[in-house]
């Protein structure tokens, strides 16, 4: 039985999206991060990776075999020593936007943020 204090993170871990880089690596330590599909500059899907041990947002393009850092710190991480862990993201509008929610940075973060790909901008 999973203790009540760990259930949310345990369930998130079990059902979070997963991906495998083939012969590549991310730029930062991303243990506890979240990921999801969004549209890249070419209009095709890429994988956005947010939070984890280190702050920021990286994008992996599986066709070009590249990893690019878009943000050193996303707005939801401001004031924290590390990145948000165990947050979640939901692609919307066919991947042209996504919603980022939750996470943990010393305490549970209850914010909801919208990211717009074309503008490379965040709104709370």
Are 34 and 102 within 8 A, CB to CB? Answer: no
Average pLDDT over residues 25-41: 88
pLDDT, tens only, 56-88: 999 999 888 889 999 999 998 888 888 888 889
pLDDT at 3 over 70: no
- State pTM to two decimals: 0.78
Query: What three-state secondary structure class fits 24?
Result: coil
pLDDT at 17 over 60: no
pLDDT, tens only, 77-118: 888 888 888 889 999 999 999 999 888 776 677 789 999 999
d(CA 23, CA 16): 22
d(CA 64, CA 121): 24
Domain boundaries, the chain: 4-14+31-123
Mean pLDDT, the chain, integer: 81
Strand-strand pairing, 45-50 and 34-39:
antiparallel
């Amino acid at each position: 039985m999973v203790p009540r204090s760990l259930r949310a993170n345990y369930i998130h871990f079990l059902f979070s999206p997963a991906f495998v880089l083939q012969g590549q690596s991310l730029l930062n330590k991303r243990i506890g991060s979240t990921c999801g599909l969004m549209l890249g500059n070419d209009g095709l899907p890429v994988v956005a990776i947010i939070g984890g041990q280190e702050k920021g947002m990286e994008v992996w393009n599986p066709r070009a075999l590249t990893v690019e850092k878009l943000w050193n710190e996303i707005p939801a991480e401001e004031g924290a020593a590390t990145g948000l862990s165990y947050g979640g993201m939901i692609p919307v509008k066919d991947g042209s936007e996504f919603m980022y929610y939750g996470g943990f940075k010393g305490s549970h973060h209850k914010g909801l943020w919208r990211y717009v790909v074309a503008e490379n901008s965040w709104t709370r």
